[in-house]
Amino acid sequence: MKRWVKRTVRVMAISLLTVVISACGGESDEVTEEHFYTHNPIQIEDVLTQEPDRYLVYFYMESCPHCQDFKPVMLEYMNQSEALPVFLLDVAKLEDRAVTEPYGIQYVPSVLLVKDQQQLQSHTGVMTLDELNAFAQLKEGE
């Protein structure tokens, strides 16, 4: 009978440990600073073709000091529970930067708001978290 008790306790301990490890170390939806630039990368031809009905496209260059200033704000936004999906487009990787002009993007950092595969609005420059949240909630014509 003692063996049965020891075995049961061992199995329970392993099960509990597995649950704790899964809860603490399992994959998370949180975007970290380390993985910021690799989270949802997008190509210029796919800017208006993403699956969500409403999302943001963030145009940036890693070498841009203003983009570096805006990165913590965008990271905080992306980790909010009610944030729109954000797709990232590295302008430095484009062969011809003029391809961003139809979206009103001439400088970085810029954010494009897309709804139902149509551009609603764009914003160029650094924003606060409150400004970014307000921008993400804009409706057509605002």
Residues 40-93 pLDDT 10s = 999 999 999 998 999 999 999 999 999 999 999 999 999 999 999 999 999 999
- In the chain, how many domains are there? 1
Residue 129 lies in a domain: yes
Average pLDDT in the chain:
85
Which range of residues forms the domain containing residue 64? Answer: 36-136
Domain containing 73 — which CATH number? 3.40.30.10
d(CA 84, CA 113): 10
Instruction: Judge whether 16 lies within some domain.
Output: no
Domain for residue 120, yes or no?
Answer: yes
**What is the model's pLDDT at position 62?**
94
Phi then psi for 59, rounded to 5 degrees?
-95, 125
- Whether 131 maps to a domain, the answer reads yes
The pLDDT value recorded for residue 88 is 96
Do the domain assignments include residue 10?
no
In-domain check, residue 19: no
On the 0-12 / 13-18 / 19+ scale of CB atoms within 10 A, 115 is middle
For residue 94, tell me if it sits in a domain: yes
The mean pLDDT of 16-23, rounded to a whole number, is 45
pLDDT score of 16 more than 90 = no
Q: Select from 71, 106, 75 the least CA-distant residue to 91.
A: 106
Helix (H, G, I), strand (E, B) or coil at 110: strand
